[in-house]
Amino acid sequence: MSEIIRWTAAELGAKLTAGEVSSVEATQAHLDRIAAVDGDVHAFLHVNEHALDAAADVDRRRAAGEDLGELAGVPLAIKDVLVTTDQPSTSGSRILEGYRSPFDATVVARARAAGLIGIGKTNMDEFAMGSSTEFSAYGATHNPWDLDRIPGGSGGGSAAAVAAFEAPIALGSDTGGSIRQPAHVTGTVGIKPTYGGVSRYGAIALASSLDQVGPVARTVLDAGLLHDVIGGHDPKDSTSLPDAWPSFAAAAREGATGQVLKGLRVGVVKELPDSGFQSGVAGSFHAALKLMEAQGAEIVEISAPHFEYGVAAYYLILPAEASSNLAKFDSVRFGLRVTPDGGGTVEDVMSLTREVGFGPEVKRRIILGTYALSAGYYDAYYGSAQKVRTLIQQDFDAAFAQVDVIATPSAPTTAFKLGEKIGDPLQMYLNDLTTIPANLAGVPGISIPSGLAEEDGLPVGIQFLAPAREDARLYRVGGALETLLVDAWGGPLLDRAPILGGTR
Amino acid sequence: MAAVKLMDFDKALELFEPVLGFEVHVELNTETKMFSDAPNPANERNHDAGPNTLIAPVDLGLPGSLPVVNETAVRSSISLGLALGCSIADSCRFARKNYFYPDLGKNYQISQYDEPIAFEGSVEVELEDGTLVTIPIERAHMEEDAGKLTHMGGATGRIQGAEYSLVDYNRAGVPLVEIVTKPIFGAEHRAPEIAKAYVATIRDIVRGLGISEARLERGNLRCDANVSLRPRGQEKLGTRTETKNVNSMRSVERAVRYEIQRQAAILADGGTITQETRHWHEDTGTTSPGRPKSDADDYRYFPEPDLLPVQPPRELVEELRAQLPEQPVARRRRLKADWGFGDIEFQGVVNAGLLDEVEATIAAGTTADAARKWWTGEISRIANEREVDAASLIRPESVAALQQLVDAGTLTDKLARQVLEGVIAGEGTPQQVVDARGLAVVSDDGALIAAIDEALAAQPDVMAKIKDGKVQAAGAVIGAVMKAMKGQADAARVRELILERAAQ
């Protein structure tokens, strides 16, 4: 295994800048890695045949003396929910098999402009509906820590790609935890930025008011570097914030000095008792808090009484918006078309195409959402859910009047076995218990590895939440805790992951 | 199909009270579409574009595309709302109206539902005899148009029986303002006339504002006419029908009359009216049933999560209010007084749709009478002959210049008509036509006297008669002189010269 793939994006970027390695070499190393392990992991739906050309182009520009960014020449895995002009974009669905977008998502265009090398498109639950990638139309992704376990979802592909060293960094999207929960179960770092902090243009919409694109990485600094590239106002997304943002990489670096923990008020939610979590998850969480406390952080119990309604509200708002967002997949203009034997009306063709093209979870949520928006039910379901959303926002406002960040375990359990929850949607939905409130309130959240669960040796993540627009605070706090933990472990958590290679 | 029974109109009015309501869709003529940067086919310069050439990703509902509100369209909508006497919302949201149809790229229309930009207004319309009627306006809201379907292979051009359909998405996303009236009571036997006058007034308003090309035949202005009847003395409203897309002012009038007669016949026979949309057939002057429409139609409206609320600043609203042109009714009153026209003369101009032209001609330097005579006389005659708009034949400045040549004695009325033809034929300005065709009146007395002498010599008895006091005998000589001068003489001057001769 080439040592290149073990480097962080920051390290690789520095070596590329110093001329110690070329982008072609780095890209080839990752392509080799994908060839070696992706048969097992199945993080990628498509490997970019143009990656080496793009890498060679960056090398040429560098040789010509062009001033390139910190990440120029670094490979990037892209969640298939983001549309790309040079690779297919399916959002994990059969209905978009082979679909080519005539435009790049804004985040993809920005990554391209910064010289990042799109190395491939990563697997995901169909249209980002799921917590395990098992609902991908193209087969599940496997957790590099235990190939019989789920890599989280919906962005299991991006998290697994990064955890399996198939790419140093990746793009994800997080509607209810799809960046943070996979980070939790794969021992990686994931950030859901403030709603509006990163453009949604070109992200195939699941639930427009909840979706947010964000970085997936092995370190907090790498996530910050990528966030700096993709973030900021985009006039093509009306919900994009016009704010100027500080450098998140700088915030991560500042955090690594450890000073930020002194006097930091960390809120712990009373309504999320340990009983709701696997014991090793709760154990790892409290150990991390102790470490922070030792560095001068103050742990404060806060109340967020409406968090418990979050999952219920989320599973009304999300399906409602999704039922409308997914209506465009009707075979008329693009994508799969299935015509009934002997022909039929346009309605027949639309109907059969959707019957064949959508998987069970997508259909479940479209039906749920259609029902929730129906006349006579709107107030009871969608209307009430929006009220809960407001109450959760008020919970956050009250909490952030007392504390600087809120900490929770990133998910209730470690990676469960593939197939374990696929027949039980409610159990699957409850996986998002701690991540969903951030999406409902639009606040940013980060998940970083906090250790391994005692009972199963699988990774556990700790989540920090900050007020809207305070993403930099998460990078500072995350960077600080990461440094403490890596020191305590004597190296990155992923060093303890099993060695992958060969085929199963 | 059984023949439709119609009741005599007067009889129908005797038994029933008609209640009207109108939904007028105005296509705004902004440069770009409502939610995309594609050129707007409802703008004059783009209306000839080939099918599917004016499209952006959002018009097709491509995955990842997002709408962005056209600010000019918002301004136009506010102006229109103000011109309709409406209040303008401090904040209003767009909503999604969800339904599957192949001309609707996203399978939802972005419209406004419970929060229109303008609400609660009224507009005065003037009937042909000068009677003023106040039409109450419920709301005016912004939305996007759908694409256009052309059904091929069927006998009717309708979707039923068609083999296949072609879709042109150019119109998808064209900015629309939908103006909805409240129920209009008391129209009685003038209902058809009021319908026509209302649409004409809306057309005049949007033209005056310059926010729409306002051409009914192109669909820039589309009227859906709601008609219901209730028996005399009954409080409860009858069941209404909605006759769609009536695309000329005359048709609006006819369609309302037809529906009153049709519904009256059904009701008088003890039948019930089906609540439905109906199609207007210009050729037969009838309506036929479209799709049943009930209040139970469920469009699953919900606030559009891809767009922020529109919050027009008060200053902007006041600025637009200050820029409003005069209301059509007020303007007509002012012009009638300024011009000193009687009712018949003024209505002649109004009914010919030539107010703007007459006004501009007067402004260019003619008397009101002269301007009216040209436009409603010779120019309208030629326009009728050629079946074109009078306004398209000649510019008001040219008409004024022509009249000035008459006033200066350069042209007789008869010569001026020849010059008019030349100008219409594109031969240049009136002066250029006079020069090129050599049409000016011969004002050289020497030439006229020579011609008079010649004529007198040919009719020696005439001079004696004149000297005897039989002045009318001069007519024969005048005729001969005019003939000799090929009409290019001022007959009055010729007469003067003959009488001078006789007095010598």
Q: What's B473's domain CATH number?
A: 1.10.10
Chain B residues touching residue A347 (CB < 8 angstroms):
100
Q: Do B64 and A203 touch (CB under 8 A)?
A: yes
Q: How many domains does chain B have?
A: 3
Q: How confident is the model at residue B485 (pLDDT cuts 50, 70, 90)?
A: confident
Assess whether B15 and B138 both reside in one domain. yes
pLDDT winner (highest mean) among B408-422, B431-445, B476-490: B408-422
Residue B296: per-residue pLDDT = 55
Active-site option among A178, A284, A323, A450: A178
Chain A contact for B337, CB < 8 A? no
Q: Do B63 and A373 touch (CB under 8 A)?
A: no
Is the distance from CB of B185 to CB of B232 less than 8 angstroms? no
Chain B contact for A334, CB < 8 A? yes
Mean pLDDT for the stretch of residues B7-20: 97
* Residue A142 DSSP SS3: coil
Active-site option among A89, A93, A154, A158: A154
A79 is catalytic: yes
Active-site option among A15, A23, A79, A121: A79
Residue B193 within any structural domain of the chain: yes
Closest CA to A373 of A317, A329, A328: A317
Q: Give kind and range of the element (H or E) at residue B279.
A: strand B276-281
Whose tokens are 């009741």? That residue is B7
Q: How confident is the model at residue A503 (pLDDT cuts 50, 70, 90)?
A: very low
H helix runs in A64-190, sequence order: 106-113, 156-163, 180-186
Q: Do A321 and B98 touch (CB under 8 A)?
A: no
Interface of A with B in 237-266 (CB under 8 A): 237-239
Distance from the B153 Cα atom to the nearest Cα atom in chain A, whole angstroms: 14
Assess whether B128 and B185 both reside in one domain. yes
Nearest CB among A201, A321, A330 relative to B64 is that of: A201
Q: What are the pLDDT digits (tens) for A10-27? A: 999 999 999 999 999 999
Read off the amino acid at residue B416.
A
For residues A326 and B63, give the distance between their C-alpha atoms in angstroms, rounded to a whole number.
9
Chain B contact for A324, CB < 8 A? yes
B241-246 and B276-281 as β-strands: parallel, antiparallel, unpaired? Answer: parallel
Within chain B, how many helices (H) and strands (E) appear?
18, 14
Mean pLDDT for the stretch of residues B410-434: 90
Nearest CB among A102, A374, A378 relative to B57 is that of: A102
For residues B198 and B31, give the distance between their C-alpha atoms in angstroms, rounded to a whole number.
27
Mutant choice from A330, A351, A439 vs B, greatest count of B C-beta within 10 A: A330
Q: Do A102 and B66 touch (CB under 8 A)?
A: no
Residue A2: per-residue pLDDT = 80
The nearest alpha carbon in chain A to B105 belongs to A328
Closest CA to A46 of A116, A120, A142: A120
For residues A277 and A280, give the distance between their C-alpha atoms in angstroms, rounded to a whole number.
8
Q: What are the pLDDT digits (tens) for A28-70? A: 999 999 999 999 999 999 999 999 999 999 999 999 999 999 9
For residues A346 and B149, give the distance between their C-alpha atoms in angstroms, rounded to a whole number.
12
Assess whether B132 and B250 both reside in one domain. yes
Instruction: Return the minimum-mean-pLDDT range out of A214-223, A250-259, A495-504, B391-400.
Output: A495-504
**Last residue of some domain: B437, B459, B476?**
B437
pLDDT beyond 90 at B348: no
Interface of B with A in 167-196 (CB under 8 A): 167
A384 is catalytic: no
Q: What are the pLDDT digits (tens) for A226-239? A: 999 999 999 999 99
Residue B53 within any structural domain of the chain: no
Q: How confident is the model at residue A80 (pLDDT cuts 50, 70, 90)?
A: very high
Q: What are the pLDDT digits (tens) for A123-135? A: 999 999 999 999 9
Residue A500: per-residue pLDDT = 86
Instruction: Return the minimum-mean-pLDDT range out of A1-10, A416-425, B100-109, B381-390.
Output: B381-390
Assess whether B230 and B365 both reside in one domain. no
Q: Do A333 and B60 touch (CB under 8 A)?
A: yes
The nearest alpha carbon in chain B to A383 belongs to B302
**Last residue of some domain: B407, B437, B467?**
B437
Residue B254 burial by Cβ neighbours in a 10 Å radius (0-12, 13-18, 19+): buried
Residue A504: per-residue pLDDT = 35
Residue A1: per-residue pLDDT = 58
Is the distance from CB of B113 to CB of B96 less than 8 angstroms? no
Nearest CB among B98, B165, B167 relative to A327 is that of: B98
pLDDT beyond 70 at A319: yes
Mean pLDDT for the stretch of residues B108-118: 97
Mean pLDDT for the stretch of residues B266-272: 95
Chain A contact for B428, CB < 8 A? no
The nearest alpha carbon in chain A to B97 belongs to A324
Distance, CA of B421 to chain centre: 25
Q: Give kind and range of the element (H or E) at residue A14.
A: helix A9-18
% of chain A with per-residue pLDDT over 90: 94
**DSSP string covering B215-227:** -GGGTSEEEEEEE
Residue B44 within any structural domain of the chain: no
Assess whether B264 and B344 both reside in one domain. no
Q: Do A375 and B69 touch (CB under 8 A)?
A: no
For residues A326 and A320, give the distance between their C-alpha atoms in angstroms, rounded to a whole number.
10
% of chain B with per-residue pLDDT over 90: 65
Assess whether B78 and B184 both reside in one domain. yes
Assess whether B494 and B380 both reside in one domain. no
Assess whether B465 and B433 both reside in one domain. no
**Vertex A457 angle, CA A451 and A460, to 5°:** 35
Q: How confident is the model at residue B293 (pLDDT cuts 50, 70, 90)?
A: low
% of chain B with per-residue pLDDT over 70: 98
Chain A residues touching residue B64 (CB < 8 angstroms):
82-83, 89, 101, 103, 105, 201-205
Nearest CB among B65, B105, B298 relative to A374 is that of: B298
Assess whether B264 and B382 both reside in one domain. no
Nearest CB among A105, A350, A378 relative to B100 is that of: A350
Chain B contact for A101, CB < 8 A? yes
Q: How confident is the model at residue B486 (pLDDT cuts 50, 70, 90)?
A: confident
For residues A289 and A191, give the distance between their C-alpha atoms in angstroms, rounded to a whole number.
19
Residue B154 within any structural domain of the chain: no
Q: Which domain holds residue B492?
A: 445-503
H helix runs in A276-382, sequence order: 279-294, 310-325, 346-357, 360-373
ipTM of the complex: 0.96
Assess whether B449 and B471 both reside in one domain. yes
pLDDT beyond 80 at B2: no
Chain B contact for A128, CB < 8 A? no
Residue B498: per-residue pLDDT = 84
Contacts (Cβ under 8 Å, ≥6 apart) of B486 = none
Residue B210: per-residue pLDDT = 95
Average model confidence (pLDDT) across chain A: 96
Q: Do B64 and A334 touch (CB under 8 A)?
A: no
H helix runs in A344-431, sequence order: 346-357, 360-373, 384-400, 425-430
Assess whether B81 and B219 both reside in one domain. yes
The nearest alpha carbon in chain B to A89 belongs to B63
Mean pLDDT for the stretch of residues B80-94: 98
Distance from the B49 Cα atom to the nearest Cα atom in chain A, whole angstroms: 20
pLDDT winner (highest mean) among A1-10, B256-265, B273-282, B320-329: B256-265
Average model confidence (pLDDT) across chain B: 91
Q: Do A238 and B306 touch (CB under 8 A)?
A: yes
Q: What are the pLDDT digits (tens) for B61-83? A: 999 999 999 999 999 999 999 99
* Domains of chain A and CATH, by start: 3-267+402-491 (3.90.1300.10), 308-378 (no CATH)
Q: How confident is the model at residue B295 (pLDDT cuts 50, 70, 90)?
A: low
Q: Do B102 and A102 touch (CB under 8 A)?
A: no
Chain B residues touching residue A102 (CB < 8 angstroms):
57, 62
User: Looking at the DSSP assignment, which residues form a beta bridge with residue A214?
Assistant: A172
Chain B residues touching residue A82 (CB < 8 angstroms):
64
Q: Do B62 and A333 touch (CB under 8 A)?
A: yes
A270 is catalytic: no
Residue B67 within any structural domain of the chain: no
The nearest alpha carbon in chain B to A371 belongs to B300
The nearest alpha carbon in chain B to A204 belongs to B64
Q: Do B64 and A378 touch (CB under 8 A)?
A: no
Assess whether B488 and B395 both reside in one domain. no
